[in-house]
Amino acid sequence: MRKLLGLLLCLALLLGCVSAAGETVPALTQDIVVLFTSDVHCGIESGFGYAGLAAVRDQLAKTNHVILVDNGDAIQGEPVGTMTTGEALIDLMNAVGYEVAIPGNHEFDYGMDRFMELTEKANFPYISANFNKNGEPVFDPYVIKEFEGVKVAFVGATTPKTITSSTPKYFQDDQGNFIYDFCQGDTGDALYDAIQGAVDAARAEGADYVVLMGHLGIEESCSPWMSTEVIANTNGIDALLDGHSHSELSQEKVLNKDGEEVLLSACGTKLANVGYLRIAVDGTLSTGLYSWKNDVSVPALLGIENDVSQAVAAATETLSEKLSEVVATSAVDLVVYDPVAKMEDGSAVRLIRNAETNLGDLCADAYRDQSGADIAFVNGGGIRVDIKAGDITLNDILLVHPFGNAMCVVEATGQQILDALEWGAQVTPSESGGFLQVSGLTYEIHTYIPSSCTQDENGLFTGVTGEYRVKNVKVGGEDLVLDKTYTLASHNYMLKNAGDGFTMFQNDPILQDEVMIDNQVLINYITGTLGGVVGEQYANPYGDGRIVAVTEAPAA
């Protein structure tokens, strides 16, 4: 029997290959290589850069069938995106030659209307199996590409956390009703079903291979919609190419609901890696990363000159003079990442989303100073890059606060303040973009206490049912009074639009309404109040003790 099976397998290899669906696949004379990027965040000259990416694609295309796809969060993150509301990035993606893309949560940061305008400018389709308006799909759930008769389906999926990790208002009508959804639900089943339906439809249309392009992530806060959970609750997917959590996964294998292995790969952020899926002529699949760990980008180090490098130069030239303007100086390094600790692979450890840092203190102090409020909050996900000691340029400030959020002040009760701190700390010590950097108060996070925060199907805060992890909150050195009213400064993303799920402030009286863009808040604080110099008061990279993690219960 084994000999017979062996003969049949050899025959299959001669005539074609057997797909995961058990169908005979036409024979290839060249491998198919799917190159994928994710979370570029406007890093057009970082890592490989778009020019280096094009060079990699062109080199591989000499001996392979190659298709280039993007898994979201391409158009936001640096001034070239902010100052053109994403248009420069779409133009560059057109120049590079992307063939398929999916929306990440930050594709919506310039508003829904603007994102839809940008999709019309794109020379490639956006796809999504789970992005709907009034119950109807906004984009096609999948596309099929054919190579020598072999059909490869690409299915798109965007994390349902998008509703809270972008601006909830963008997904609502004028009356505040949600008209857009991402198949959220509490259990994950709605997302799984939407993806399964697209996979089944693609298979029925003749797809030999199905690739899920995901902006899903593997962070705990992404559950129940993590890429691993999607694989475990579906079948028919050959590989999942992931984004969102900036993870670097070369060739993970996750079992689907039928117990079959599915490849999982993710390529990090800022073009430090270019991911690939290779479908070999014998039908075997493999994934991996082309990595570039040097501080100097590929185009800069190798002097790459091609059509894309010229397009990148044109996009940045008009911005460079203004962005290079020196607005202040710093006597200390201001950090998002731990200046000492490193991951096993040598990469930096991000602190801003689970611990206090001096840059978090600076940004929160700027909001409190410029608003005159009792307390200020800045979500860790809104503070993006370190500032090195020395000159601070406009570009540096825009990189710290790239979203264009506007400062607001509300009247909030002590209970609402406590609920917000609890919501922000619900997954600590894991990362959360909603982790709160603070000014005007101090607090402890007792991480040994399980979070009892509750949320609705859209991931929005609804309450706390058990013991609070956040304790010993003090405002100006005095205990927080739950029924007292405080003035709270933050931005419209959180206070008005329930960004990161912070719903507790939605009905609070607004004292200052979108009075200043976030990066201007920081510029004004540094150049005015601090006299143009960030000094020794911010010398400790780990902050001045405003946020304390308590990892063990006190002895009885």
What CA–CA distance (Å, rounded) separates 273 from 265? 11
Supply 403's token pair: 């979203």
Neighbouring residues of 303: CB distance < 8 A, sequence distance ≥ 6: none
Neighbouring residues of 391: CB distance < 8 A, sequence distance ≥ 6: 326, 328, 329
How many Å is the Cα radius of gyration of the chain? 24
Please, is 14 exposed, middle or buried when counting C-beta atoms within 10 Å of its C-beta (0-12, 13-18, 19+)?
exposed
Q: Is the peptide bond before 141 cis (omega within 30 degrees of 0)?
A: no
> In which element (H, E) is residue 361 found?
helix 358-371
Supply 550's token pair: 């308590």
Q: What is the pLDDT along the chain (556 residues), one digit of tens a residue?
A: 334 334 333 333 333 455 555 566 778 999 999 999 999 999 999 999 999 999 999 999 999 999 999 999 999 888 888 878 899 999 999 999 999 999 999 899 888 999 999 999 999 999 999 999 999 999 999 999 999 999 999 999 999 999 877 777 889 999 989 999 999 988 999 999 999 999 999 999 999 999 999 999 998 888 999 999 999 999 999 999 999 999 999 989 999 999 999 999 999 999 999 999 999 999 999 999 999 988 899 999 999 999 999 999 988 887 787 788 898 999 999 999 999 998 888 888 999 999 999 999 999 999 999 999 999 999 999 999 999 999 999 889 989 998 889 899 999 999 999 999 999 999 999 999 999 999 999 999 999 999 999 999 999 999 999 999 999 999 999 999 999 999 999 999 999 999 999 999 999 999 888 878 898 899 989 989 999 999 999 999 999 999 999 999 988 7
Q: Which amino acid is at 215?
A: H
List the beta strands (DSSP E) in 196-270.
209-215, 239-242, 248-255, 261-267
Q: In this predicted structure, what is the pLDDT of residue 549?
A: 96
What CA–CA distance (Å, rounded) separates 416 from 209? 50
Neighbours of 337 (CB within 10 A): 18
User: What is the DSSP code (8-state) at residue 170?
Assistant: G
φ, ψ of residue 248 to 5 degrees: the values are -115, 105
Which residue has tokens 């070369």?
A: 250
Per-residue pLDDT of 496-517, as tens digits, reads 999 999 999 999 999 888 878 8
Neighbouring residues of 236: CB distance < 8 A, sequence distance ≥ 6: 20, 21, 196, 199, 200, 203, 210
Percent of the chain with pLDDT over 90: 79
Q: In this predicted structure, what is the pLDDT of residue 6?
A: 40
What's the CA dihedral at 391, 394, 395, 396 to 10 degrees? 50
Secondary-structure breakdown of the chain: helix, strand, coil percentages, each rounded to the nearest 5: 30, 30, 40
**Residue 447, CA atoms < 13 Å, CB-side half-sphere:** 13
b/e map 439-452, b = 16+ CB within 10 Å = bbbbbbbbbeeebe
Q: Which of 119, 112, 165, 159 is nearest to 140 (CA)?
A: 119
Kindly report whether the global pTM for this prediction surpasses the value 0.85. Answer: no
